[in-house]
Each structure stands twice: as structure tokens, then as C-alpha cells.
Structure 1
Amino acid sequence: MGEFIEERLSVQVDYGADFSEEYAVKISASENGNEYRSLLHPFPKMRCDISYEMRKGQWVIDNVLDLYHRCLGRFAGFRVRNTADYSSNAYKGVPTALDQPMQLVSAGVYQLQKLYGAAGKPTITTGRPVRTVFKPVAGTVLVAIGGVALPSAQWAVDTITGRITLAANKTDTIVGITKAAQAVIDVGTNTFLVGESVVISGVAGMTQINGLRALITAKPDATHITVAINSTAFSTYTSGGTVQTQPVAGEAVTAGFEFDIPCRFDSDLSGITFTTFDVMSAGGIEIIELLNP
């Protein structure tokens, strides 16, 4: 971990630039040819070799040389957008709130991450590889609990660390639920708001509603909320139950996002050349991913 500049290196690289992904695998061989392989960690690590050819000299200075100096060469990190892998939805798809599971950090706090390898296909015993997403792109993050997208008022994202913090839990005891196309729940005087996502648990009688999550669509009065759950075919409510905003045990907490990869320079800028008057090229720029920026 060290210094980091929250700035993205220009993506206007030239054809011929390349990137690679690697894993930390230690391999030992015996005299009879047997291999012994150990996986040090399951995190992919990106390397790039990029070039900016035939650009205005001032452009190279402003977009490459200046960042290199501000980072003190290999010392500090910066953001890089891998144009082949920047989305939680496959590699380049439009993000949805259901794309990736998040890792629980502490109560109400989650870390963005991306799992690799198609779901449902065979994996090794350690499971699918995962990239911790520290640098989500502002304005692209979506969050869901239990398959229901959360309104932005119910969570916040830190685009420097990639952590999601859910709003403080709101919870109330249920004293009645109607059978209706949109169930009306009596919770007494409450602070719930229209548009908030809530989950129901612990209900007796109308047990089919337990574990269901939905958005609040209306507040008919000070003690009732209407939710987007069709309860017309459910059993009659008898007693008990709780309604709350934060997840209950077993609810999936997921997210979608675009992301940058934290990197640092892994070479000196020795390939800057003047090609013609006021035209410069910068080639052979090596960049490596920071796993813990």
C-alpha cells in the first residue's frame, strides 16, 4: 500500500499495445519430473505494455510525462481502464445491480469484487478467481438486495476504496397485513419512505410473505405502508413479523459497476522520442496492477 493519484491514464493508446493477466503460482519440480504447484492467492494481476505514437508534443507531456513525474516514476499508483475488461457484466456489458456478489466487510459495509470464469462451469477446489474492485467509476454503481435494486438513497459508494455502505437499518414490528395485489402492512408509526426497499420476516399465518423483498409504493397514512407484493393468494395473517431495510440472513447483496484498475508504472520512460517538429512518441511503457493500492 502507498501513495495513489485518483487519475486515469489516457486510454487513447495505439494499436500494438498489449496486456496480460497472471496468477501467483509457485511451481517446484522433482528430479523425476513431477511438478508441485501451489497457489499463493486467487487474485488475477494485469500487466500492460502500451504506446502513444505520433502525438502532439504537448499532449504527450500533459497526459504521460506529467503523470509519470507526479507519481515519482514507479512510486505512486493511478487508475487504468482496461478497454477489454471494465464492467461487472461479463467484460464489457452494461452493468446491472445483479451482476456480482459483494464481500461483507462489517455490518452494513460491503466490498465490490468481480468473479471470473462463467458461472456454472467447472472450477478447481478454490472456486472462481476474484478481483477486488477498489476503483469503481463514479456514476456507474448499482446495488441490489435479494434481487431487488436499491434506490441510491439507501446506500453510498466510496470510489476510492470500492466499499458500499448501506443506510442505517430501519425496522418495525408488523401488526397486520392485508390480502391485496399490493399488500398493505400495518407497522404503527414509522419512518419508512416511498421507494425504499424492505424485507419481511417472522410472520405467522401469512408465511408465504416471509423472506420477500419489495419496494414501498405508497404510505396510505402514518401507520401503514404499501409494498409491491401480491398477497391475494397468501394465507391469512395471524400475528408477528418484522419489516426492515437492511438484509436478513440468506439475502444476496449484489452490485453492478464499471471499474478502473489501480496500477503503477513498472518501467522508466526511456522510449520518448521526437519524430518530427512538435510531434512525440512514447513507447514501451510498462504498467502493472496494484493488488492492494
Structure 2
Amino acid sequence: MAQFLEERLPATISYGGSFSEDHAVNTVETVGGDEYRSLRHPFVRLSYDISYARNIAFVRDKVLNLYARANGMYRGFRVKDFKDFTTNAYILAPTALDQPMQLVTPGVYQLMRWYGSPTDPQAARRRLRKPVAGTVKIAFGGQVIPNDQVIIDYTAGIVRLPGLARSSITAITKAAQAVVTAPAHGFTVGQSVALFGVQGMTQINGRRAIVTRTTTNTLTLDLDSSSFSDYASGGQIQNLPLDGEQVTAGCEFDIPCRFNSDISTGFPGHGVLTSDGIQIIEIFNP
């Protein structure tokens, strides 16, 4: 049976209590008073200590029921952290340019939330294992990619790119919407493509554009080439990111958590049930 329940701790619950964020830092102090610090890993861990005082039906149905189905501390569940739930400045609407994704294997990326520079190997970060369904946005080289061109796993935060499609270029027009001749190319309207290796019209190299019209041998791109140099020869056009082209994403996300304590309840008054000191902790491998 699955060790994770794909459901969110009810958002209507008032957390009260407190929260903490831990960093895996080891600190050693020498007899001379010098301090040495090491970072075991760069991942932030969230924990909550929450309390409830609600009507009996609410606490039973929304808290105790989840605790029972989770087998106490065994199964995980989603938690919305109201102070940090999007990739854009903690609470703003996500955009496709928010965060660089982390390459897992060629064509496979992990959604990320960076709290420092992505180029810093010790920067605080989160692997976004539980993005909110329907909120993920992807971009290659700064251009938004339609979601039907990638595969998004909302239970693991993994984005898979399609297989490589590439075609040789034999001509490019100078126009408000460039027409690229690439015999038997196989691309379709709405796809995002990038060009490289073009001679003459070198300004188009490294550019990415959406295909707006196709024939068997041509593609019309949403790219103004009217001021570019004349096309001379060569070049390739492909769907996947070019070498060095940044792959970014944005989304809303939940924190995968589990209960980290037993639950005790009380009856302070008629029809009211309290549950104090419930500890919830983030899990890294849901």
C-alpha cells in the first residue's frame, strides 16, 4: 500500500501553534573557542506544531480521520505552507521563469525552489515533490512552452521532455514571421523550436520561437527576421533545449509531510474537541 496520501491537510484549519525551518548544520567548537561548521545537505526542512479547538465533527472528520488513514506517523500527506507556497517570491502567482529546474537525467528535470543562487552548491533549496495540479509552467531559454509538449508528474515534481526532433534547414526568409524551409520536418503548429548553426543569417542562431503555420517542407515562426542578414546556408532546427539554454519552471506547491507525534484530544466544553501539540514534519522522500 502507498506510503503517501495524495491529499492536503485541510486548508481551512487555523494552524495557530508554531513552525520552524531547520538546516542540516553541524557545529563544532574547539577548546580554543574557534567554531567550525559543516552542512550535511542543503535542503530546508519545515516542521509545524499545530493545535485545534473546533466542533467535534470537524476535528474528527478533518484531523483524526486523516491521522488514522495515515497510520499515525507512517504515511505522508500534503500541507500548504501559507507563508511559502509558490516559486515566485513565496506567495505571488508563479511564472515559467521563476526557478531553474535541476537536471536528473537527459530530458528529465526536477522542479525546484531555490533560496539562494542555483550555481551555489550549498544554496538552501527544496525539491518540489508535490506541485499543485495544473499550476506548473515551463520555459526554455525564456520562452514559455505549452504544457502539452512536456510530461509533468504532479505526484513527484518531475518534468519529462519529449524525444528529440531535429531537421536540417535549407532556406529562411526575411519577414515579420520568418518562414524556414526544412524538408519533411515533422513539426506541428504550437511547438516551440530553436535554431542553430545557420550561416549568413547568424542573428537567428540560438533563437527560440513558436511554430504558427506549417507545410510539409516549411515552418512559419513567430519570429521577426526582417532586419537580419540574408540566409546563406546550413543550420538545424529542433524542439529540445539547445546546449546552454536554461530550462526554468514555476508552480504552486505543497510540502510533503507526515505526523511526527501521537494525537491526544480533550473535551473542554459541549460539542467542542481540542487537539494540542500535533507535530508535523516535512519528508524529503515521499
Say if 2:79 and 2:257, in contact at 8 Å, map to a contact too.
Answer: yes
Q: 1:229 aligns with which of 223, 226, 243?
A: 223
**Within the alignment, does 1:285 sit opposite 2:281 as a pair?**
no
Runs of 5+ consecutive residues of structure 2 not aligned to the other structure: none
Say if 1:263 and 1:288, in contact at 8 Å, map to a contact too.
Answer: yes
Any idea what the Cα deviations from partners look like across 1:80-134, whole Å, max 9, x if unmatched?
A: 11010000101000000000000111121100011014x69xx9x6452111100
Q: 1:233–1:127: structure 2 CA closer, same or farther, 3 Å change rule? A: farther
**Within the alignment, does 1:85 sit opposite 2:84 as a pair?**
yes
Say if 1:13 and 1:51, in contact at 8 Å, map to a contact too.
Answer: no
Instruction: Give the aligned partner of residue 110 of structure 1.
Output: 109
Number of residue pairs the alignment of both structures matches:
285
**Within the alignment, does 1:246 sit opposite 2:240 as a pair?**
yes
**Within the alignment, does 1:155 sit opposite 2:150 as a pair?**
yes
Say if 1:133 and 1:162, in contact at 8 Å, map to a contact too.
Answer: yes
Partner secondary structure for residue 92 of structure 1: coil
TM-aligned CA deviation for residue 28 of structure 1: 1.2
Partner secondary structure for residue 36 of structure 2: strand
Partner secondary structure for residue 42 of structure 2: coil
**Within the alignment, does 1:267 sit opposite 2:266 as a pair?**
no
Say if 1:47 and 1:287, in contact at 8 Å, map to a contact too.
Answer: yes
C-alpha distance in structure 2 between counterparts of 1:57 and 1:247, whole Å = 54
Instruction: Give the aligned partner of residue 46 of structure 1.
Output: 46
TM-aligned CA deviation for residue 25 of structure 1: 0.5
Partner secondary structure for residue 143 of structure 1: strand
C-alpha distance in structure 2 between counterparts of 1:157 and 1:19, whole Å = 30
Aligned residue runs from structure 1 range 1-293, under 5 A: 3-14=3-14, 16-53=16-53, 55-117=54-116, 126-219=121-214, 221-270=215-264, 272-293=265-286
C-alpha distance in structure 1 between counterparts of 2:186 and 2:50, whole Å = 54
Partner secondary structure for residue 160 of structure 1: coil
Identity %: 49
Question: In structure 2, what residue type is equivalent to 1:83?
Answer: F
Any idea what the Cα deviations from partners look like across 1:115-164, whole Å, max 9, x if unmatched?
A: 014x69xx9x6452111100000010000101010111101211111000
TM-aligned CA deviation for residue 190 of structure 1: 2.7
Say if 1:97 and 1:255, in contact at 8 Å, map to a contact too.
Answer: yes
Question: In structure 2, what residue type is equivalent to 1:283?
Answer: D
Question: In structure 2, what residue type is equivalent to 1:4?
Answer: F
Say if 1:12 and 1:52, in contact at 8 Å, map to a contact too.
Answer: no
C-alpha distance in structure 2 between counterparts of 1:92 and 1:142, whole Å = 16
Any idea what the Cα deviations from partners look like across 1:218-261, whole Å, max 9, x if unmatched?
A: 22x32111111111111111111111111110100000100001
TM-score (norm 1): 0.93
C-alpha distance in structure 1 between counterparts of 2:122 and 2:27, whole Å = 20
Question: In structure 2, what residue type is equivalent to 1:286?
Answer: Q
Say if 1:110 and 1:164, in contact at 8 Å, map to a contact too.
Answer: yes
TM-aligned CA deviation for residue 189 of structure 1: 1.9
C-alpha distance in structure 2 between counterparts of 1:198 and 1:269, whole Å = 54
Question: In structure 1, what residue type is equivalent to 2:24?
Answer: A
Question: In structure 2, what residue type is equivalent to 1:199?
Answer: A
TM-aligned CA deviation for residue 278 of structure 1: 2.5
Question: In structure 1, what residue type is equivalent to 2:244?
Answer: G
Runs of 5+ consecutive residues of structure 1 not aligned to the other structure: none
